[in-house]
Amino acid sequence: MTAAKPISTLKTVFAETFGISPDTDIESLQYRSIPQWDSVAHMRLVNSLETTFDVMLSTEQVLGMNSFQRAREILSEHGLQFDA
């Protein structure tokens, strides 16, 4: 079984992709809930997630990833688990 990754790594990907403070309530982010998360930034997020976690997201996963929590769930479908 793979060791859990720090949730802070996932939060950092979101913060850096959207250019927001790490102090933002990242876990409650949803697509278009902030101006920075538009369709172009969404594709940057996909690229960052794939690179950081060495996964390849399906088209269905890319289109369905509409929140931080959903991104976490999608990554878990690839065998990644995150600590609390």
Instruction: Write the pLDDT tens digit of every residue in 32-64.
Output: 999 999 999 999 999 999 999 999 999 999 999
Cα separation, 33 vs 38, whole angstroms: 9
The pLDDT score that the predictor gives to residue 75 is 97
The pLDDT score that the predictor gives to residue 47 is 98
| pLDDT score recorded for residue 2 | 62
Of 10, 27, 5, the C-alpha closest to 83 is 5
Question: How high is the mean pLDDT of the chain?
Answer: 95
pTM: 0.92
Residue 9 makes CB contacts below 8 A (sequence gap 6+) with 52, 82
Per-residue model confidence (pLDDT) at position 3:
73
Residue 16 has pLDDT above 80, yes or no: yes
User: Measured between alpha carbons, how far is 24 from 30 in angstroms, rounded to an integer?
Assistant: 13
Element housing 76 (H / E): helix 68-77
CATH code, residues 7-77: 1.10.1200.10
